Amino acid sequence: MGSVRVFGASPGVTALSAPSHPWAAFHLDPVACALIGIAAVGYAGGVFRLAGRGESWPVRRTVMFFGPGLLSLLWFTMGWSGAYAHSLFSAYIVQVLGLFMVTPVFLACGRPVELARALASDRSRRTGNRLARVPLLRGVVSPVFGALLVPVTTSVIVFSGIFGASLRSHLIYHILQVTLLALGFLVAVPLIEESARVTGIAAAAALFISFLELLLDSIPGGVLTFRTHVLAPVYYLALHRSWGPAPLADQHTAGAILWGVGEVADLPFIAVLMVRWMRADEREAREADRLLDEAEGGATLMRPWWETDRRPSR
């Protein structure tokens, strides 16, 4: 399945020929290949270094990283959504959602941050601990920030100049791919990494915002679904695509995908946040009980001597 250059179109505009088996489409993406190679080599090297030190790494985490993690990255960048991202708005939206909300979650299940922390030197750990106490960075990696990031990111991509610019420029297109993966990590890691401890108040706030986000996520998808004008019309008219749905119908399909996937994808995050909230509440309750026990023990030691003296009085 080849791609043909559209003469007279904007720089970077390409249109694929009519697909015979669209779901079996494959489009080689050098940048995605480099990302997959770097991630695979880095993760495997970390696991082997741990094994060389006599430490084990759970096999299930490695399977999650190389299986659903890297395979989903390959499919979203070089499968159907990657092959037709420049021809179909619906394929573009599927790639955006996959790189932002699916692949980072699978990769985070492999615990790459925890693996890097296990391999870090004492000096690097101390530096990381100091950075983790910076209020701004603590806010960035909190579940509250991640919950707000989802509707904001999709809205900015779709309704700003980023969408059209990424269609016209391969450089911007690939920068957007890397940025989506990075932002997706900011959302996924605080939810999955056990070391990313959150307070009960932060977890409860994130849960409340996630419920609010169910409403916010419907806005960009709803606007696309009912919009009567095509986004980036100059680009799509220059394609002269003779197959597939009309640009406006394809845009409505993309809006329905963004609307539906955005709502459904929120449900696992809400479930995880509820579990994190309950665990944080239990942990804080145990800590409060411990402090109360210590306080009561100290109070016993500070009682007057005539209350603690058991000798019979004369």
Angstrom distance (rounded) from CA 41 to CA 260: 35
E strand or H helix that includes residue 177:
helix 170-192
The C-alpha R_g of the chain, in whole angstroms, comes to: 26
**Helical packing angle, 143-159 and 200-216, nearest 10°:** 20
**How far, CA to CA in Å, does 69 sit from each of 2, 63, 75, 99?**
27, 9, 10, 10
Angstrom distance (rounded) from CA 108 to CA 40: 14
Residues in the chain: 314
Segment 249-280, tens digit of pLDDT: 888 888 888 888 776 766 766 777 777 777 77
First vs last Cα of the chain: how many Å apart? 105
Mean pLDDT by runs of 10 across the 314 residues of the chain is 37 51 73 93 92 87 93 92 88 91 90 85 67 56 65 84 87 93 84 61 68 71 82 78 81 85 70 74 76 65 55 57
- pTM for this entry: 0.74
Domain boundaries, the chain: 22-300
Segment 37-57, tens digit of pLDDT: 999 999 999 999 988 888 888
Contact 208, 266 (CB under 8 A): no
- The burial class, CB within 10 Å (0-12 / 13-18 / 19+), for 214 is middle
